[in-house]
Amino acid sequence: MMYEFKVSDLAEEFGVHRNTIRNWINAGTLSAKEGPGRKYLMKFHDYQKLCEKFGREPHVGPANNVSPKALGALEVTDVAPMEINGLKSQIALDPAWADSCMTCGTCASACPISGVDGLDPRKIVRMAVLGMDEELVASNWPWKCTMCGKCEESCPANIQIIALMRKIRGLRKRALVPGPIHKGVSMCLERGNNLGIPKDDFVFLCEDLGQELAEDCCPGFKTPIDVHGARVLVTVNSKEPFGEPDDMKWWWKIFYAAGESFTISSENWEGVNWGLFSGDDEAMKTVVGRIVDNMRRLNCKVLLLPE
């Protein structure tokens, strides 16, 4: 808690000359610093100590930002005030947010995890405009947020909270990204899908499943891998060939019934782009680029991303 004073007022209060107060400040015996409007700021704790030394009651008024409740014993657990260092935040996308965010808290009311870890979207925005970049990047809260956009939807000032959240995620060291998200991104860049399924295994699995489907309800069905000139190129969520292969058949059954000409690429078929979640724009671009390459290579007209 800070105590705000004018040199002249403090001089009068303690019965000394204005220059005496200035001398104390300059010599460091009174630890205060310049504040706005020719006023000075000192810790309320220091003000209380000064009063005690002079045998006076601390002065509490509407202008000095101190509640009467704070009076009494010297506050030994005074929390150090945060220094605003004037550095520009790398995270706050627009410095005008300091003004345009009215701290109304509508975002915090809309957010289903407000209060988790003592944080909410309003506080995150405020931390960003105050330049608390390090704290934000170290916090796990932006990763518990699902970037659902309820906050942004409700914001009367149009603060881009989701872009902010993604920016915070993107600034974290890649090795410290929680969970398998970044590992999936690296794996995808290296082997073409998030789970590193080899090409031969994938093609074999698809053909096998196609045969099952043909026997089950779609006579004559064959899984179309790398078919040039098919109308629809379909991407695959790697969790399906990895753990729930039968789930791929639903789309195939619909295509069969509709008489659609579709195909699946044998390489770079991953449809899940985890760069979106880890805040990794470069990786995202590479993965999208590969899908575009597949579209060109196989000369398809329509791209379906069932993710």
Partner 1 sequence: MSVFDLLLEYIKEGKIQLNKEVHKMAVAYHDPCNYGRKSLKAFGQAYFEEGREITKACCDDFRELYPNRKGAYCCGAGGGAWAMPFSAERVFYGRIKARQISESGAQLVIAPCHNCRDQLMKSLNKEYDLNIEVKYIWELVADSLIMPNKQ
Question: Does 249 participate in binding partner 1 (rule CB under 8 A)?
Answer: yes
CA distance 210 to 225: 11
Indicate the residue type of 206: C
Helix runs in the chain, H state only: 7-14, 18-27, 44-54, 97-100, 106-110, 121-129, 133-138, 141-144, 150-154, 161-170, 181-191, 199-216, 239-243, 249-258, 275-278, 281-298
If binding means CB under 8 A, how many residues of this protein chain bind partner 1?
A: 47
Residues 54-73 that bind partner 1 (CB under 8 A): none
Roughly how many angstroms between the first and final C-alpha of the chain, as a whole number?
51
- Binding residue for partner 1 (CB under 8 A) from 49, 126, 150, 199? 150
The answer to the question of residue 250 lying near partner 1 (CB under 8 A) is yes
The residue (of 138 and 257) whose beta carbon lies closer to partner 1 is 257
Q: Which two tokens stand for residue 238?
A: 């790697």
Angle at 162 between CA 167 and CA 155, to 5 degrees: 135
* 247 forms part of the interface with partner 1 (CB under 8 A): yes
Q: Does 145 bind partner 1 (CB under 8 A)?
A: yes
CB of 14 vs partner 1, minimal distance in Å: 53
Closest approach, Cβ 140 to partner 1, in A, equals 7
Closest to partner 1 by CB, 40 or 251: 251
Helical segments of 77-157, H only: 97-100, 106-110, 121-129, 133-138, 141-144, 150-154
Contact 174, 182 (CB under 8 A): yes
Q: Does the footprint of partner 1 cover residue 304 (CB under 8 A)? A: yes
Number of residues assigned to the chain: 307
- What x-and-dash track marks residues 75-114 binding partner 1 by CB under 8 A? -------------------------------------xx-
Stretch that binds partner 1, among 57-65, 76-84, 89-97, 253-261 (CB under 8 A): 253-261
CB of 229 to partner 1, least distance (A): 17
Kindly state the smallest distance separating residue 143's Cβ from partner 1, in Å: 6
> Which residue from 4, 120, 133, 152 is in contact with partner 1, where contact means CB under 8 A?
152
Contacts of 66 (CB under 8 A, 6+ apart): 1, 3, 44, 58, 60
Sheet strands side by side (includes 40-43):
2-5, 40-43, 32-34
Segment contacting partner 1 (CB under 8 A): 55-63, 78-86, 242-250, 280-288?
242-250
Q: Does 179 bind partner 1 (CB under 8 A)?
A: yes
Site string for partner 1, 184-223 (x = CB under 8 A): x--------------------------------xxxx---
Tell me the three state secondary structure of residue 51. Answer: helix
Taking the complex as a whole, the smallest distance from the CB of residue 210 to partner 1 amounts, in Å, to 15
> Considering the rule CB under 8 A, would residue 171 count as an interface residue with partner 1?
no
The type of residue at 122 is R
Please state the closest distance from residue 243 (CB atom) to partner 1, in A: 11
